[in-house]
Chain A
């Protein structure tokens, strides 16, 4: 059964740092992988979708990479800001399962 693990579970950093959030999955036979952001009490907002033929996607200060052979995806956040504080989740889009997330706090 597919399992999705996110490390670290929580992260607290000062503003300006470059961050790395990790997502690993046990079944490498996935199609696409998606990263989300969730603010407290809200739904999930899609950040990046990496399709099976791609190795990475970029949007502004965010960059996500995908290595299906090793069962890993990484989300890079450059020059973090307090507004980036949220929980970040990853999910293979065809497996119906989500990681438990990384709770990020960026302080001024």
Chain B
């Protein structure tokens, strides 16, 4: 069964910490995405990548960066965590052009205190 794996289900970090959220897919997908999901705001795109070492800003990239050194791995980095980054973070992947749709990971619930 194809999978997108997010390294942590729950994470608690302190304000100012550097936080890494890891996402790995085993489907050889070209595209990978990071979304955050907040009540009443739906899914908002943070960053996405169409290929190794490529990255594109989504709708809300401020305070985040990403890294894609290998095709299967897409990391989201919170350079200096703040309480307003407390959220559910969802990673997804898809083949080129989205032909077969998205596959999502199980999510990481991040709390910044």
Question: Residues on A close to B: CB < 8 A?
Answer: 31-32, 34, 36, 41-46, 49, 51, 89, 91, 93-94, 96-101
Contact = CB atoms under 8 A, between A and B. Distances in A.
Interface residues of B, number: 26
Closest 7 CB pairs of A and B: A93-B98, A100-B42, A44-B104, A34-B101, A94-B98, A49-B101, A43-B104
Interface centre among B42, B45, B97 (most CB of A within 10 A): B42
Interface of B: 6, 33, 35, 40-43, 45, 48, 58, 88, 90, 92, 94, 97-107, 109
Contact of A32 (B40, B58, B98, B109): B98
A32 B94 CA distance: 12
Contacts of B48: 96
Given A41-B109, A43-B106, A43-B107, A93 B90 contact: no
